[in-house]
Amino acid sequence: IIDVDEDAASYRVKDFREKGIEAMYLKADVSIEMEVAKAMEAIYSRYGAINILVNNAGIGFSGKSIVEQSLEEWKKVIDTNLTGVWLCSKYAVKYMKNTGGVIINIASTRAFQSEPNTEPYSASKGGIVALTHSLAVSLSKYNIRVISISPGWIDTSKWQVPPTAPSLSNLDHKQHLTKRIGTPEDIASLVSFLASEEASWISGVNFVID
């Protein structure tokens, strides 16, 4: 787990280990090249391989109108959400290209269906979808598959540290065809499938879960 949130990531590693799952945490900002390079090197040093990369790091946006958005705010979202995917992929592929592997990028339905005043976030997620098929073509010669997933509205409240109460109404749930908001587990199920050999003929595409 690579994250800037030390408390949440350390808690998750502890939870994994209590369940008998090997895990480690590396504190790094995915928008800073040297931190990403060192993190990938540390992972390879510990495990001797990098087989699967899930690019899930991302930040939201405050919802200011474009005339109020600063260039610094734009850059912060793009650097974390989009450049972070590029950097993590770049330094994982350094080790992955010898053995093959899978890169799964978490985009968003905001790449295709926007809300007002979300330009930095929407642009970053649209960029992830485009970057995905570009990487898939470039990396196919190394037997590396690259796929993106675009989730809709996901309730992450119970995964916060400490967990928070979801602020959801019945209407929030009913607007979905399944009559409920999505959960991180819904996305993880698809990630697990796409990373497996069962999905070995899938690359360069985006999956919407909403």
Instruction: Kindly list the catalytic residues.
Output: 121
Distance from C-alpha of 76 to C-alpha of 197, rounded to nearest angstrom:
36
- The tokens describing 105, both together, are 């990028």
For residue 164, how many other CB atoms are within 10 A of its CB? 11
Question: 3-class SS at 63?
Answer: coil
Question: For residue 18, with 0-12 CB atoms within 10 Å meaning exposed, 13-18 middle and 19 or more buried, which class applies?
Answer: exposed
Q: At what angle do helices 119-139 and 84-96 cross, to 10 degrees?
A: 20
